[in-house]
Amino acid sequence: MKANTILLAAALSLAATGAMAQANCNQFPQQGGEALYNGICQDCHMPDGRGAEGAGHYPALARNPKLAEPGYPISVVTQGLKSMPAFGGAMSDQQIADVVNYVRTHFGNAYKDTVKPEDVKNAR
């Protein structure tokens, strides 16, 4: 837990070891594509995957042709992309498959092929 020593220095004092910590707070509890999307992705990509624009932006996942190749969203969710954090450590293969399938079949996306947990496992 070496990283913690650094984190302790933060104004926000982030010691993961500690204070008043909630159980297992580094795993997302949500199950199923919709719950995962609403509980996580919606924070930045907004309800309905419409994205948002300010000084920087969150890309729209709605009608996004880059979701055609399932390996891409799997890798983005697992590994992160620039300021999008990596969620691989906080989600099971099943959860990642579910949320990727969800965004690939909602918000104007209608990709037919389904991602399986094994696909995620192989991509980790």
Ligand X SMILES: Cc1cc2nc3c(=O)[nH]c(=O)nc-3n(C[C@H](O)[C@H](O)[C@H](O)COP(=O)(O)OP(=O)(O)OC[C@H]3O[C@@H](n4cnc5c(N)ncnc54)[C@H](O)[C@@H]3O)c2cc1C
Quick one: what does residue 68 bind among ligand X, ligand HEC, other proteins, none, with the CB cut-off 5 to 8 Å set by partner type?
Answer: none
Of 26 and 110, the one with the shorter C-beta distance to other proteins is 26
According to the binding rule CB under 6 A, does residue 64 interact with ligand HEC? yes
Helix (H) or strand (E) holding 53: strand 52-53
SS3 91: coil
Structure-block tokens of residue 80: 């992160």
Of 13 and 114, the one with the shorter C-beta distance to ligand X is 13
Q: How many angstroms from the chain centroid is the CA of residue 123?
A: 15
Q: Which residue has the tokens 């498959």?
A: 97
Binding mask 21-60 for ligand HEC (x = CB under 6 A): -------------------xx-xxx------------xx-
Of 22 and 53, the one with the shorter C-beta distance to ligand HEC is 53
Which residues contact other proteins (rule: CB under 8 A)? 2-3, 5-16, 18-22, 25-30, 38-44, 46-47, 52-58, 80, 82-87, 90
User: Would you tell me how many other CB atoms lie within 10 Å of the CB of residue 123?
Assistant: 17
Least distance to ligand HEC from the beta carbon of 64, Å? 5
Q: How many angstroms from the chain centroid is the CA of residue 2?
A: 25
Structure-block tokens of residue 10: 């933060």
SS3 72: helix
Of 8 and 52, the one with the shorter C-beta distance to ligand HEC is 52
